[in-house]
Amino acid sequence: MKNNQFDEWAEEYNCFGKEMPFFQKWIFKKMKEEIDKKGIILDLGTGDGRLLIYLSNTSKKLIGLDSSKNMLNETKKNFNKLGLKGKFILSELPKIPLSNKSADYIISNAALHHVKDKEKLYKEILRVLKKHGKLIVADCFEKEDKEYKNEQNKLRKDKVFWNKYLKSLNRCEKEFLNMQKKLKVKHPIEYHITPKKTKEILEKVGFKEIKITPMPKLDLIYSGVKK
Ligand SMILES: C[S@@+](CC[C@H](N)C(=O)[O-])C[C@H]1O[C@@H](n2cnc3c(N)ncnc32)[C@H](O)[C@@H]1O
């Protein structure tokens, strides 16, 4: 496995013990609402395992996959502190070294934009999902999507929510940039696509019941079901 920037960040990235910022609580809550039964949950680009940990009481089994060995070590540390059990896989997406139909839910937060070949990735996800299994993702996207911008603007009407969300997100981004500066590590390559393109590829590879949930600013939440 080649060394990557996330290996350098891992220790500082780990947010265990810190209060979760408002924007992240909102995202994770929305993702959790997509889960309707206890099942096997696979988290792609798990980082420090924060999303898996958040969803731990809705699962039968937790699996974290990441291409950074150091990130996975942080996940393991956090699991140990909480007495949680999990399976941890070191792998570079789009490759998922699991057998066909082995997960009920495949989830991911802030990671899939680092994968270039989205079609290959979604095909691989579909292969690993069980029948009726669901993909649930929160991720950043290519901003030039007018349709999505209109959807986002509807959220703006709730000014209290909007301001609170952006304030907490901006604070987090600032901390993240400071960390990058301090560690002198360049940001890894990103391959953003529009929400519209995301939906098109999901449809093309065979996902059904595709849902796009708008979020303020940079991200979107999307889900799709394997029928
Ligand atoms: C910004 S972090 C997000 C971590 C975590 N999901 C969270 O909610 O904070 C992105 C994670 O994706 C992982 N990652 C990036 N590219 C990857 C790839 N091609 N395959 C597997 N993991 C990858 C990184 O190592 C890192 O842990």
Q: What is the pLDDT of residues 125-162, one digit of tens each?
A: 999 999 999 999 999 998 778 888 898 889 989 999 99
CATH number of the structural domain spanning residue 217? 3.40.50.150
Query: What number is the average pLDDT over the span 164-181?
Result: 93
Residue 218 Cα to ligand 1 midpoint, Å, equals 17
Q: Cα angle at 21 between 18 and 23, to 5 degrees?
A: 155
Q: What is the pLDDT of residues 24-60, one digit of tens each?
A: 999 999 999 999 999 999 999 999 999 999 999 999 9
Query: What number is the average pLDDT over the span 212-221?
Result: 89
- Token pair for 20: 């979760």
Full residue range of the structural domain in which residue 192 is found:
5-225
Q: How confident is the model at residue 1 (pLDDT cuts 50, 70, 90)?
A: very low
- Are 205 and 119 within 8 A, CB to CB? yes
Number of domains into which the chain is organized: 1
Give the closest residue (by CA) to ligand 1 atom 26.
Answer: 47
Return the percentage of the chain with pLDDT > 70, whole number: 99
**Ligand 1 neighbours (beta carbon < 6 A):** 6, 45-47, 50-51, 66-68, 71, 92-93, 109-111, 114-115
- Are 128 and 42 within 8 A, CB to CB? yes
- Predicted local distance difference test score (pLDDT) of residue 145: 83
Q: What is the pLDDT of residues 175-190, one digit of tens each?
A: 999 998 899 888 899 9
- Predicted local distance difference test score (pLDDT) of residue 3: 54
Give the closest residue (by CA) to ligand 1 atom 8.
Answer: 109
DSSP letter, residue 96: -
Alpha-carbon distance of 151 to 2, in angstroms, equals 40
Alpha-carbon distance of 176 to 156, in angstroms, equals 25
